[in-house]
Amino acid sequence: MIGLSPVAFLRVPQYWRNLRRTRAILKVIARHGFSDVIVRAGLDAKLGFLWRRILLTEDQTEIMRATWEERVRMVFEDLGPTFVKLGQIMATRPDLIPMSLVLELRKLQDNVPPFAFEEVRRTIEEDTGTTLAELFASFDEAPLAAASIAQVHRATLKSGEHVVVKVQRPHLKETIETDLAILRIIALQLDARVPEVRQFNVLAAVDEFSRSLKREIDFRNELWNLERYRKNFAQDPTLHVPVTYPKLCSVRFITMEFIAGVKVTDLDALHRIGVDPGLIARNGTQIVLDSIFKYGFFHADPHPGNFFVLPGGTIALIDFGMMGSVDKQRMDELLTFLVSILLNDTEMMVNLFLELGLIDEDTDVRALRGEVSGVIERYYGQSLDQIDIGAFIAQVFEVVVRHHVWLPGDLLLVAKSITTMEGIAQEILPSFNPIEMMRPYLVTLYVKRTLDPLEHSKRIYRVVNDWLSLAQTVPRDVRSLLGKARKGELTLRVERPGEYEREAQKDRIANRAIVTALTLAWMGITAYGLANSSPAAGPPWWVWVAGTAGLTSGSVLLMSLLRSRGI
């Protein structure tokens, strides 16, 4: 059990709410065949005696027929909005989790039951201080779609424009904060007690997910993303970005133009409006490449549900909650990485990893180079129309990660964006091959940037600036270290295996000692009051208070001992 500190003890209501949610999460995890992980992480104590006996001993033959990756996906689906989003973000990080799990988590569905219209009305009216009738000429009560974060309704403005209003789920922030706190506790326990889980870097995954989700539930960020993306493509007739209405937006809802288009994968609808699927495949791929390598700001979740086609063949993108960005330096690195794959130049790729410090001292560089080259050569033996670029890049990533090369997160988002667009393009036009577009586009851009004198001067400036900065800071840092050494303030911290668990055990003992002392004190006060009370008048009020407090603290102590199965 994770100890209940004196400060936490004063926040008992929140503690019990978190404990109830923790139990609900652990029950779902156990029912999907992961009871052994719960026990090894020391989390089974939180289930309570009765549920521990039921869940950890029930027959799981049926659920165990599914693969472990499928069971992880089912856990996320059953646990609700926070966990669905966690799974979707993890699906973009093959550097943190196995590729087999990445591919399974990409199947996560974000369709959930809608919430009541009265909650929609309350959210908008609270955030604007105005009634719904004053803001909109009409507002459909039935939602167009409902997802884990929000649901979308059609409406009409007073000026006549048709819009959609995306409204956040009620109490979403509170639910997410509770789930994130519990997730971090579970991640800490897994990291401390289950060695084979450490390779997945679960704590880093939870921390990154927490930052990403907090940004996504502030709809002002999505408004800013929309405005920036529309400005980038203002002169591109092949793309339409919805118009927004900032005065009808807040942290919890956003209003934008209604897109009267057809789904990009609805081939019958494309033919009805006279649009060539090949044109959409080419333009969609061009948009993704331009957003990454021309503007450095791209849609990080370009699934088919976010692509619509307007009459005339213009593509419309929606849902700008999850975006990626790359600076000029990272763009050069991305170009080098992708060009090395397209040109079958593993030497270029490995040199890039070495330059960026992504390869640790335990990496067998020769073996890495050989495996990556083997993957690329297998694909180079096929004709262009046989190459599945998504599987191709996924296999390269799998080899790279297996050799402990920790790829930057933005590189992985770029890869996901490119491979997702490739999948959409091939779904609407099976004969389309994006490599025919990507190779000349990326190679030409790479050569242009490599030969550009301005880019060279910037690179030289960065190197000189780094050395000047180092020359300025090193003497000051050395002087500071020597000063601390003279004063005896220089300390060396050495972490021993199992230190976290030993410290946690000490905290538990200390916390139990505090609760025991409080219990004895309250019981002593109660006994004294009862012994000196008048039989006729009965015990005074403070005796009842002391008795209740003693009973509460004693119950906390007893439950702590039962959950941990001993002192």
- Residues annotated as catalytic (active site), given as ranges: 301
Are the beta carbons of 389 and 419 closer than 8 angstroms? yes
**Are 258 and 162 within 8 A, CB to CB?**
yes
The one-letter code for the residue type at 184 is R
d(CA 456, CA 474): 27
DSSP-derived 3-state class of residue 214: helix
CA–CA distance, 44 with 56 (Å, rounded to integer)? 9
The alpha helices in 343-452, defined as continuous H runs, are: 346-356, 365-380, 389-402, 409-428, 435-451
Largest CA distance in the chain: 100
Asked whether 99 and 397 are in contact (CB, 8 A), the reply is yes
What's the CA angle centered on 412, arms 32 and 434, to 5 degrees? 110
Is residue 534 classed as helix, strand or coil in its secondary structure?
Answer: strand
Rounded (5°) CA angle 556-562-566: 115
Q: How many CB atoms lie within 10 A of CB 175?
A: 15
Beta strand residue intervals within 69-149, DSSP E: 136-139, 145-146
Helix axes of 202-216 and 172-193: crossing angle, nearest 10 degrees: 170
Tokens (6 digits) for 284? 């969609």
CB 371 within 8 A of CB 403: yes
Neighbours of 421 (CB within 10 A): 25
Residue 146, classed as helix, strand or coil, is strand
Using DSSP, state whether 36 is helix, strand or coil.
Answer: helix
Q: Are strands 239-240 and 315-317 parallel, antiparallel or unpaired?
A: parallel
CA distance 141 to 213: 27
